[in-house]
């Protein structure tokens, strides 16, 4: 696979081999580059999001008063209402007022400048278009009291790393493989148009195999861009241009090979 990777990037002649290789090898290569993208993307995600997640859970553990949910009601170790504001995102604010039992209106939430409001018996979350989602806690009975304290947030942070991150990695891999395979169909059609202009007799299957390999450099560029501290303008267009260039070179290489084989000596 490493040889195919290097050939996809640096050798137009390698695309003659890709066009004739077995479908199973192309599928294996598809999974290989999807795995590369997943590993690179996961590392970038950990570097970017990991510290933010750790900071958020540490902030929650330090700022959220101990909450106890029992018999459909929430009680707090702090009697007075407390407004929590995320240190890195001031627009994300929550009000905790477990002494309140009367309903919370949208106006009250907007005046308090909070996105969520927890009372003694309900949780109110502001949705888009000026609507409030209400979760009636009195209907959510639990077998035994549930305590939300600093230990709860530390355990939640640990569970996130052990469960959610692996699931996220698996999701990225499946998405990357599916998207690369689908994009290969589109690029194969583009390769047919390029072949009509530049010559060649490859069938759609061979062009599809070329299209999978032609996405390699653009995919690696995507990995590099995920580590950059800024967004690259028109990165999607750049990806299309890079892949299209490789398609054109691959089509020309195969057309030249056919021409050399059929020309009289």
pLDDT digits (tens, 9 = 90+) for 25-72: 999 999 999 998 888 888 887 777 777 778 888 888 888 888 888 878
Which two tokens mark 107?
A: 């106006």
> pLDDT confidence of 21, banded at 50, 70, 90?
confident
Question: Residue 30: its pLDDT value, please?
Answer: 92
pLDDT tens column, 108-137: 888 888 889 899 888 888 887 778 888 888
Question: Residue 143: its pLDDT value, please?
Answer: 67
**Measuring CA to CA, which residue among 260, 264, 261, 256 is closest to residue 200?**
256
Cα 61 to chain centroid distance, Å, stands at: 27
pLDDT at residue 11 is higher than 70:
yes
Report the distance separating Cα 194 and Cα 63, nearest Å.
61
Q: What is the pTM of this model?
A: 0.68
| For the chain, domain boundaries | 2-51+160-260, 65-148
CB atoms under 10 Å from CB of 261, counted, come to 7
């Amino acid at each position: 696979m490493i040889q195919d990777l290097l050939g996809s990037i640096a050798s137009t002649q390698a695309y003659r081999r890709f066009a004739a290789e077995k479908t199973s090898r192309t599928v294996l290569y598809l999974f290989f580059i999807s795995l590369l993208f997943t590993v690179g993307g996961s590392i970038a995600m950990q570097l970017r999001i990991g510290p933010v997640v750790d900071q958020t859970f540490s902030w929650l553990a330090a700022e959220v008063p101990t909450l106890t949910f029992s018999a459909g009601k929430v009680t707090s170790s702090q009697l007075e209402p407390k407004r929590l504001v995320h240190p890195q995102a001031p627009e994300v604010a929550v009000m905790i007022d477990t002494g309140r039992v009367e309903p919370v209106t949208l106006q009250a939430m907007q005046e308090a400048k909070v996105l969520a409001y927890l009372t003694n018996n309900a949780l109110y979350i502001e949705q888009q278009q000026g609507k409030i989602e209400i979760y009636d806690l009195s209907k959510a009975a639990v077998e035994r009291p549930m305590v939300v304290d600093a230990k709860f947030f530390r355990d939640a942070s640990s569970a996130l790393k052990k469960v959610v991150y692996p699931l996220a990695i698996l999701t990225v891999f499946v998405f990357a493989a599916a998207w690369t395979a689908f994009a290969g169909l589109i690029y194969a059609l583009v390769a047919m148009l390029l072949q009509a202009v530049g010559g060649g007799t490859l069938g759609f299957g061979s062009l599809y195999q070329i299209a999978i390999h032609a996405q390699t450099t653009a995919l690696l560029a995507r990995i590099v861009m995920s580590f950059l501290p800024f967004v690259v303008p028109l990165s999607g267009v750049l990806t299309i241009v890079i892949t299209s260039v490789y398609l054109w070179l691959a089509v020309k290489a195969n057309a030249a090979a056919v021409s050399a084989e059929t020309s009289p000596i």
